[in-house]
Amino acid sequence: MGVAAVDVRRPEQLDQVDALIIPGGESTTIGKLAAQYGIISKVRERAAEGMPVWGTCAGAIFIAKNVPAHPHPLAALMDMTVERNVFGRQIDSFEADLDMPVIGPKPFHAIFIRAPRIARVGDGVDVLATLNDGTVVAARQGRLLATSFHPELTPDRRLHEYFLSLIGGAP
Ligand code: GLN
């Protein structure tokens, strides 16, 4: 997509990037290591300056302001409640076609791997996609983006393009 991507592991690297994607994985591990590496306050600082941050799956958990009973520190950027593992165990992972008008009329094929759901969104948060039963699985607050699923596993680039459009754009 014409964008240089670097792995961010240390707080000072955040001064060299225009945007940050926090990927899926295991949010307890992400929270524990982020605290150990002292990166949480720097993520908060850069996000407060307007750096776009996109959290996918465990990353969405990491950027949520409210996560019931989470045992580790989190970045707590976005005004939403995210509940972990609501669809069941790893074996209950699934795929779904989502209507997502902000990226166009064609549905987005989404892969959910032991995914969380967005259980509540605050006033400044826009819901971008839901499952057929109304479960919220994508949302945006200014330059913060959260998706319950894994857009890096499908060839559709529209969400990545949408995220890039947040760099330097209106909050
Ligand atoms: N179940 C994981 C968690 O709670 C998230 C899974 C994922 O990122 N695919 O952190």
Q: Which two tokens stand for residue 113?
A: 């791997």
Measured CA to CA, the distance from residue 101 to residue 135 in angstroms comes to 16
Atom of ligand 1 nearest to the CA of 85: 1
Are 40 and 9 spatial neighbours (Cβ–Cβ below 8 Å)? no
Catalytic residues: 57, 150, 152
Q: Is the CB of 25 under 6 A from ligand 1?
A: yes
CATH 3.40.50.880 fits 11-164, yes or no: yes
Instruction: State the pTM of this model.
Output: 0.96
Residue 120 DSSP one-character state: E
The reported pLDDT for the residue numbered 52 is 98
**pLDDT per position as a tens digit, 25-51:** 999 999 999 999 999 999 999 999 999
Question: Residue 171's pLDDT band (boundaries 50, 70, 90)?
Answer: low
Q: Is the CB of 67 under 6 A from ligand 1?
A: no
Q: Is the CB of 27 under 6 A from ligand 1?
A: yes
**pLDDT per position as a tens digit, 129-168:** 999 999 999 999 999 999 999 999 999 999 999 999 999 8
